[in-house]
Amino acid sequence: MTATAMRPGHRAATSRSLPARVLLGAEEDPRWSRPAMWAVLAVAFVLYAWGLSGNANEYYAAAVLSGTQSWKAFFFGALDAGSFITVDKPPLALWVMGLSARIFGYGTWSMLLPQALAGVAAVGLVHSAVRRACSGRTYAHAAALVAAVVMTLTPITVAINRDNNPDTILVLLLVLAAWFCLESLRTGRLRSLLVCALFVGLAFNAKMLQAYLVVPAFALAYLLCARVPWLRRVGHLLAAGLVMLVSSAWWMVIVDLWPSDSRPYVGGSTDNSVWDLVIGYNGLGRILGQGGGAGGGPGGGPGGGGFGGESGAGRLFNDILAGQISWLLPFCVVALAFAALMRVRRIEGPSGAAWLVWGGWLVVHYVVFSFSSGTFHPYYTTAMAPAVAALCGLGGVSMWREYRRSRTWAWVLPLAVAVTGGWSFVVLRRTPDWAPWLAWVVLGATLAAVVVLVLARVRAQVTVRIAALALAATVVAGLAGPAAYAVTPLGSQVNGTNPTAGPNAGQMGFGRMGGRFRGGEFPGGRAGFMGGGPGGGISDSMVKYLLANQGKATWLVAVNSAMQASPTILSTGRPVLAMGGFTGSDAAMTVDRLKELTSSGQLRYVLSGGDRGGPGRGNTEVTTWVQQNCKAVDGQASLYDCAA
């Protein structure tokens, strides 16, 4: 019999059963590592799923409900089951929620639970990616745990994971892409890089060009760190680009090649094509404040940035966004500077690739989000959370290593703690009437952590007790602020159209939320789009009249915008035709199309006026035709019967 050498740790790694390894980890892992990971995931699930209620963003909720009533509406991402017009995003995120709603029936939990689970999965993937990129089991698990905690407690991530906007699915797919990118760099396998490209393409079908913001970081990391010759690196990237293109474009190509008279109008476009939506409203329109489409709601336009404040280098630190994403950005800046200085000596191999992937991710998003002039919502910044989390994990462990073994670099960790705690103090003091004591707790913890770290290093006595004290103070300094903000969405419904966390959570956007879901009835309310706002909803008396007189018509009524249509779709379960798309600015309805629908009996009632000038901003032809050719309904203001 031939004896074979066993690698150190091999026996320990295989002595546990698979269920035990899943629950407890490998035997050579630190005992605390796997239970701590499960604890963080449990906290994430509670934060993202506890007390979910309402319809969240009624625009997307209406599309989810419509997708349960019509496979055609499901595939195209139509707002209504009659498939007149699509929402202004590709439908992949709607498909996830729609499949759940088809299986379990439409309701709050069937729509929003997949979002919460996607958020938890993203936390787990960030943990895995950071752990696999670090050397040393204890340090790797510590870095991964820090990253998972930061990801879990990012305030805007908590808010968006309790909502039905597509950003949750976008983040999950991009984190999957990052995981496979790092795996390709760790193993040298082309297959992993191609899977990475596949997930980037799928992310494109959640939120279009925003998905591509990670591509420069992935490509740079592969060019510099791949374990293959240079020419093969270029070839591999070209192959990955082809996969990404196919994965991105397949739905767009199908829709644009589909005969336009037998599919919904592409909401947000100027010419009824997905290509125009990609380049215009969801492309240059977001960056430059121009392009086709509705503009995404009030507050857009050049330089305004919509709900995110003025564009510029300090945007992410302004009063609107600081409490959502910026808490640990100072720590990330110090960590990236430290990594750049240490790249030759310490940061190499998989760890170096991870720094490039996550650092590049953060830098590109910071530049684009800071300087884009189009509509900008705070929840867009949730796409930065994985990079912030990973850099906190990688940076925290790397700085701690150097703090313990190098007098030259020992000052970096206290500096990072000081600037992070100081910034948290500033952010908390901006709302002095909300938990006023917390800012001073953070400041005290920051000073304590810095003093302990400096004195221990000066005396060259970094004992376990001192390390534990410094760690506890650092955690309070860095995480108390975001944690306090992160729990606020649990006490009330987030604002569906513009979810945020913190003292002002739920107060931004178009208005209050609609009603809660009760038993077997369709949720929502008739208070207007997302519970109120421009155009309003349809009155209860008018809805009762329409339900009693719809007859065999496909649509209950035609209205100017989704702001009017969405609440009524949700409250009645019937298709409502939004002639002008999201805000009424799309030129989806023409006089000829309206004549066709009314003469064929597919549409009987039209609610004219009352919303930004009618279908297609500035287009009065449809409104004029309705008023001249249809009969005003007695007792129902602005409602016209086109079958009379």
Strand partners, 524: 515
Mean pLDDT within 357-371 = 98
Order of strands across the sheet that contains 577-578: 577-578, 558-559, 605-607, 639-641, 631-632
Question: Could you tell me what percent of the chain has a pLDDT over 70?
Answer: 86
Determine the length of the chain.
Answer: 644
The pair phi, psi for residue 606, each rounded to 5°, is -130, 130
Mean pLDDT within 66-76 = 98
Mean pLDDT within 297-317 = 68
pLDDT digits (tens, 9 = 90+) for 450-496: 998 888 888 766 676 777 788 888 889 999 999 999 999 997 777 88
pTM: 0.90
Mean pLDDT within 273-298 = 73
**Residue 461, token pair as written in the block:** 């006595």
Residue 346 has pLDDT above 70, yes or no: no
Question: Contact at 8 Å (CB) between 374 and 289?
Answer: yes
Whole-number average pLDDT of the chain: 87
Report residue 620's pLDDT band, with 50, 70 and 90 as the boundaries. confident
- H or E element: which one contains 402? helix 385-405
Q: What is the DSSP string of 517-556?
A: P-TTS--B-SSSGGGS-TT----HHHHHHHHHH-TT-SSS
Residue 292 has pLDDT above 80, yes or no: no
- The pLDDT value recorded for residue 290 is 60
Task: State how beta strands 631-632 and 577-578 pair.
Answer: unpaired
Can you say whether the dihedral through the CA atoms of 126, 127, 132, 134 is positive or negative? Answer: positive
Report residue 533's pLDDT band, with 50, 70 and 90 as the boundaries. very low
- Lowest-pLDDT choice from 152-156, 537-541, 583-587: 537-541
- The pLDDT value recorded for residue 468 is 78
Mean pLDDT within 184-196 = 95
Residue 295 has pLDDT above 80, yes or no: no
Q: Which residues contact 508 (CB under 8 A, 6 or more apart)?
A: 307, 320, 378, 495, 498, 500
In terms of Cα–Cα distance, which of 427, 414, 412 is closest to 453?
A: 414
* Amino acid, res. 358: W
Report residue 524's pLDDT band, with 50, 70 and 90 as the boundaries. very low
Question: Could you tell me what percent of the chain has a pLDDT over 90?
Answer: 71
Looking at 441-575, which runs of residues are DSSP E strands?
A: 558-559
Residue 337 has pLDDT above 50, yes or no: yes
SS3 category, 190: helix
- Lowest-pLDDT choice from 25-34, 50-59, 138-147: 25-34
Mean pLDDT within 335-352 = 75
pLDDT digits (tens, 9 = 90+) for 454-467: 888 887 666 767 77
In terms of Cα–Cα distance, which of 493, 561, 562, 571 is closest to 526?
A: 571
In terms of Cα–Cα distance, which of 95, 23, 52, 165 is closest to 523?
A: 52
Looking at 442-537, which runs of residues are DSSP E strands?
A: none
Determine the Cα–Cα distance for residues 118 and 112; give it in Å rounded to an integer: 10
